Copies of this chain bind each other. A is one copy, B any other.
Amino acid sequence: MDIGFIGLGEMGGAIAGNALKAGHTVRVWNRSRDRTKALADQGATVVDTPEQAFAGDAAFSMLADDSALRSVLIDGGLLKHAPKGLVHVNMATISAALAGELAELHAQHGVAYVAAPVLGRPDVAAAGKLNILAAGADDAIERVQPIFDAIGQKTWRVGREPQHANVLKLAANFMLASAIETFGEAAALVSGHGIETQSFLDIITNTLFPGPVYQGYGKMIAERRYEPALFKARLGLKDVRLALAAAEAVDTPLPIGSLLRDSLIDAIAHGGGDKDFAVLGEVAVRRAGR
């Protein structure tokens, strides 16, 4: 396929790289040009404007947040000048509110729109093992499936309403944050009684709670080592905030979400914003004066 790719952060860069590896033609654009170099080395065509990337069979975007996306896509007039028949695949984790707004705007401008946020951190993206939550018109998803196959291990079709994919992504990240906070609190409890956190972690990951989340974040908490960050606490707070807003939009209290927000602000206030999400474990022991 011939695709454009907008936004080459750690996630975007890894994804675009896998599309290239699979033999697709990729035009890349990024606000700060220095991030395009690595992709050019892998065979991408670097373009000067987002418009040039918003062309071909499909355009993928992976921008940092609502504000970056809004600025490039809406204020920058990208949508207005998009070629007929283009499919836009938005992989970023954005608010449910903007997701709904974008679905309408694309329809108005005759651009097919697929929301495709992903589960997985940069290392998973680099390995082409992402789980893709894709929502939008069936034929639009069909057309970009070859790219999804190149970058992920599985595409989860989650319906026709693009914003549903974003809500699901936020709900998943909310659960992730809660799992970290919960293990952090449990670790503070057992270590307070003189039990090794690692022993506790071994038991629960081999019984009730298998899987990468508890193993990965749990290990950082057991070792009290939060750098280098695989996913920064600051980004975690952003996602929790979006989950809270998505819940409020449907009049749904999310008490665990509220608690997570406070713990993350505490982490950031203590210099943990650029540390790993697992730094929630540090908040739990600090509350215990340890």
Using an 8 Å CB-CB cutoff, how does the interface string of A243-272 with B read, 1 for contact, 0 for none?
A: 100111011111111110111011011110
Question: Across the interface, which residues of B come within 8 angstroms of A243, CB to CB?
Answer: 189
Q: Does A171 contact B (CB under 8 A)?
A: yes
A159 and B190 CA atoms in complex are apart in Å by 13
- Complex partner residue of A258 from B176, B203, B251, B258, CB under 8 angstroms: B258
A156 with B203: in contact, given A211-B209, A289-B269 (CB under 8 Å)?
Answer: yes
The reply to whether B188 and A174 contact each other, CB–CB distance below 8 Å, is no
* Stretch of A33-41, A81-89, A162-170, A223-231 that contacts chain B: A162-170
The reply to whether A171 and B200 contact each other, CB–CB distance below 8 Å, is yes
The reply to whether A252 and B175 contact each other, CB–CB distance below 8 Å, is no
The reply to whether A195 and B168 contact each other, CB–CB distance below 8 Å, is yes
Using an 8 Å CB-CB cutoff, how does the interface string of A264-290 with B read, 1 for contact, 0 for none?
A: 011011110000000000001001111
Q: Does A22 contact B (CB under 8 A)?
A: no
A252 with B287: in contact, given A156-B203, A243-B189, A246-B193 (CB under 8 Å)?
Answer: yes
Q: Does A127 contact B (CB under 8 A)?
A: no
Question: Across the interface, which residues of B come within 8 angstroms of A199, CB to CB?
Answer: 158-159, 168
A176 and B288 CA atoms in complex are apart in Å by 22
* Stretch of A101-109, A140-148, A177-185 that contacts chain B: A177-185
A164 and B192 CA atoms in complex are apart in Å by 11
Instruction: Kindly identify, within residues 184 to 209 of chain A, every residue whose CB is under 8 Å from any CB belonging to chain B.
Output: 185-186, 188-190, 192-195, 199-200, 203-204, 206-209
Instruction: Kindly identify, within residues 121 to 163 of chain A, every residue whose CB is under 8 Å from any CB belonging to chain B.
Output: 131, 133, 154, 156, 158-159, 161, 163
**Within the oligomer, what is the number of copies of this chain?**
4
The reply to whether A182 and B179 contact each other, CB–CB distance below 8 Å, is yes
- Complex partner residue of A256 from B193, B210, B259, B265, CB under 8 angstroms: B259
The reply to whether B256 and A268 contact each other, CB–CB distance below 8 Å, is no
Q: Does A96 contact B (CB under 8 A)?
A: yes
Q: Does A119 contact B (CB under 8 A)?
A: yes
Question: Across the interface, which residues of B come within 8 angstroms of A182, CB to CB?
Answer: 174-175, 178-179, 182, 256
A288 and B271 CA atoms in complex are apart in Å by 10
Question: Across the interface, which residues of B come within 8 angstroms of A186, CB to CB?
Answer: 171-172, 174-175
Chain A residues in the interface with B (C-beta under 8 A) = 96, 119, 131, 133, 154, 156, 158-159, 161, 163-164, 167-168, 170-172, 174-176, 178-179, 181-183, 185-186, 188-190, 192-195, 199-200, 203-204, 206-213, 243, 246-248, 250-259, 261-263, 265-266, 268-271, 284, 287-290
The 8 A-B pairs with the shortest beta carbon distances in the complex, nearest first, are: A192-B250, A269-B289, A258-B258, A251-B269, A253-B262, A252-B288, A178-B182, A171-B186
